[in-house]
Each structure stands twice: as structure tokens, then as C-alpha cells.
Amino acid sequence: MMKKMSLRLIPAALLLLLLLLPACGKSEEPAAAPQPGTASTNAPTETAEALSPEETAEPAAAEEPTGTEENALLGYTFHVPGREIYVDVPEQFQEYEKGYTQIYFVSGIKYVSVTAERGEEFAGITDLMEAHEAAFAKFLRNIQNVALVTELHVEEDETVTVNGLEVYRFTGTLGQEYSATDEAFVTGCSFVLDGTPCCLVGSVMTAEQEQSDIDEISDMIAAMMDSVRTEP
């Protein structure tokens, strides 16, 4: 009787063992994937704080000096031939030479010029107004291929000292023929240097006479006059 009961218990024990084995080998359930917009709790913790943009950026290079605003208007130096006279002039304008006048212009719009009257009959002039008349008359003759100028109408003028030079400074209009305007803005400076009557003249030739062009030419003539010297 006992032998028969033992034989019946063996299959039951084997069945219980088979049911327990999978449970013993079962691993932990994998962590659920984080939902969009939520941080995973399993992500590694950063050990260093992120650097600010100021800390990570390369140090800025030192800027080159740009010079004064007046110098920015001019590009290189013009040397009056045969004289110790140097004037800084605009590099961005088209250059044109006529007689003793050097002209820098934007065709049909505006120009500045340097005139030196080197005729022997004018050598040794010391009177400022005589020098102005001689140099400006030379300018009028030489400007004709750029603008048909007939006369100067002075509206404001004064005598000033610039870098030790006595200067006749004037502003007004130029009478013109066959041009966009009969009255073109003009500004200029006349002086004597190295025994030579000289005149710097700038003008706006357009019919509109835009204030921006007038301001640019006025600033340019002032900068050119400030640059006049006897050495390179």
C-alpha cells in the first residue's frame, strides 16, 4: 500500500518542480521607455556644468585702428609736381588730370579738385585774395571737360588759419551751362604754399542737389585742407 502511494507522489513532485523552475529563472521586467517630453530616470548624471557661451568662445582679436572719420574720406596722397605740396585725396573717385588741376569725380554727380597755379608770373604772390583769383581762374579753365562752369557766386566766405596756413574759405554756387543745373553747390579753400597759389574746390552737379552729396563734398574739402602739407 505504501509502495503504491510513493509511486503516485513522484509524478506530482516532478510537476511541481517543472512549474517552479521558470519562476526561478525569470529576470526583472525592463524599464519602460520614457514618454516624449519626460526625462529618463536611468540617464547618467552629468558631472560637469555646461560652460556659458562667454567661457567657450575664442577670445576676440583686437581691432585695427580705423583712424579719424576725416581720414576715412580720403585714400591716398597727391603730390603737386615740381612743388613741395602734398594733399590727401579720395581714392574712390575717378581721377582726371587737366593742366595744373587734378580732378577726382563721380561722373555727372560730384567732384573735388586740387589746382596749383605754377606759372612764373604768379610766383611769389603773398596776397591771399590775389592767390585765390589766380588759382581759381586756372581751375575754371581746367574744369571744362568735367563741367561747363562759367562763374562763381560766393554766398559765405571767411579767412581762417588751418595748420598754420592762412586760408580763404568760401561756399556758394557755380554758374553752369549745358548741365543738369544752372546753379551747382560749391565749396573751396584757397591758400599759398611753397610760393604757389593753390585752390581746393568741390561741387555737386546734379539737378536735385541732394543734401547728402553736399555734406559729403563739404566734409571732403575740409579733410583735404586739413591734410595740406610740405612733406609726404
pTM for this entry? 0.69
- pLDDT higher than 50, residue 111: yes
- For the record, the C-alpha cell of 110 comes out as 560730384
Question: Distance of CA 117 to CAs 94, 190, 194, Å?
Answer: 22, 11, 11
**All structural domains of the chain:** 92-227 (3.40.1000.10)
- pLDDT higher than 60, residue 43: no
From CA 191, how far away is CA 198, in angstroms rounded? 5
From CA 27, how far away is CA 92, in angstroms rounded? 82
110 closest CA partner among 188, 180, 204: 204
Average pLDDT, stretch 156-179? 95
Per-residue pLDDT of 8-30, as tens digits, reads 545 555 555 555 555 444 444 44
By DSSP bridging, strand 110-116 and strand 196-204 are: antiparallel
The answer to whether 166 and 132 have CB atoms below 8 angstroms apart is no
229 DSSP 8-state letter: B
Where does residue 39 rank: exposed (0-12), middle (13-18), buried (19+ CB within 10 A)?
exposed
User: Helix, strand or coil for residue 124?
Assistant: coil
